[in-house]
Amino acid sequence: MENNAGNLKKLIDEYFELEDNNATEDQLNEIAHKIDHEVYNSELIMLLNKNGDKAEVAALLVGEEEDDESFFIPVYTSKSEADKATEFFMEQEGSGEFEFEILKGSEIIATYQEDDDFLGLAIDAPENGFVVFADTVHDCCDE
């Protein structure tokens, strides 16, 4: 995996630290913008839930009613984060078989952007659960 995922984790930790220390909205927005760039450029691990011969992307559903549900795709910055999530999901479901797929954040967003129910990515969920909305992920400039 590229170093960008490690940089992404550091930026998210920095965001939480700033948030805990009552940073200004401008400070939080500045770090969130950097996070959007890192997500776009980072190779991230997606969990695929194997069901027989086919594998489906694991999704975190949100919404009150089944016909009004939207979803986030959980992605992970390292194999150890993905392993923790796999353990959590297996405990919740009682069983399951997961495999990993590594893709750039920009590729994940591009694949699902046409789906009206797709909201974005949940990074290192459920332990960390930092949410990045699909419409904010971009690479507008070099940093």
Query: Which tens digit of pLDDT belongs to each residue from 111-141?
Result: 999 999 999 999 999 887 799 999 999 887 6
Q: Tell me whether residue 65 is in a domain.
A: yes
Q: Would you place residue 2 in the very low, low, confident or very high pLDDT band (cuts 50, 70, 90)?
A: very low
Q: Tell me whether residue 143 is in a domain.
A: no
> How far is Cα 68 from Cα 33, in angstroms, rounded to an integer?
29
Q: Tell me whether residue 112 is in a domain.
A: yes
Taking the whole predicted model, whether its pTM rises above 0.85 is answered as yes
Concatenating the DSSP letter of every residue in 79-99 gives: HHHHHHHHHHHHHHHS---EE
Q: Tell me whether residue 142 is in a domain.
A: no
Q: Tell me whether residue 55 is in a domain.
A: yes
* Number of domains present in the structure of the chain: 1
Q: Tell me whether residue 141 is in a domain.
A: no
Q: What residues make up the domain containing 113?
A: 3-136
> How far is Cα 6 from Cα 15, in angstroms, rounded to an integer?
14
> How far is Cα 1 from Cα 120, in angstroms, rounded to an integer?
21
**Contact criterion met (CB below 8 Å) for 71 and 103:** no
